[in-house]
Amino acid sequence: MTTRMRRFVETDTGHRVPNHKSKCRHMHGHRYRFEAEIEGDTVQTSGVSEEGMLMDFSDVSSILMEYVHDVIDHAFVVYEGDELAREACERMGPDHRTVVVPFIPTAENLAKWAFEQVEPHITSTYGNALKLVAMHVRETPKSIASWIP
């Protein structure tokens, strides 16, 4: 039997999907929710702070903040091949937060990206089995994409 937990962080992030058939091809932004789903065995070490947990929720939050939130919050994520959007961001000057990525920044691709940023940091101090099994990205209240390797 395994246990699962989820913890999320939210960002305000801009993007565009340059080849999209409708309005998503325009520069716009979302209140994204990046939700890490972790699976494993609970800590069985008696008397430690994490006893009975997979991992402390606050530790997961710290990882999400450092490797996702602090990278793209209040930034514009732009595909490296989107020359028009890159030029627009460059014209904003060096104080503009632009994050250039090697993929079109769809919710699906951002879910995979976030998984890859977070996964190496989901580790156990107590030897319990622990792994990141999915990253869920809510782009709008009705739209959620998941990366499950």
- Per the structure, the count of domains in the chain is 1
pLDDT exceeds cutoff 90 at 1: no
- Provide the pLDDT for residue 142: 97
Mean pLDDT of 98-108: 98
- Domain of residue 33, CATH code: 3.30.479.10
> What would the pLDDT profile of 105-142 be if each residue is shown by its tens digit?
999 999 999 999 999 999 998 989 999 999 999 999 99
Picking from 3, 10, 16, 11, the residue whose alpha carbon sits closest to that of residue 109 is: 16
Tokens 């020359």: give the residue. Answer: 83
- Provide the pLDDT for residue 2: 85
Model confidence, pTM: 0.95
> What would the pLDDT profile of 14-68 be if each residue is shown by its tens digit?
999 999 999 999 999 999 999 999 999 999 999 999 999 999 999 999 999 999 9
Cα 46 → chain centroid = 33
Mean pLDDT of 95-103: 97
The boundaries of the domain holding residue 54 are 3-147
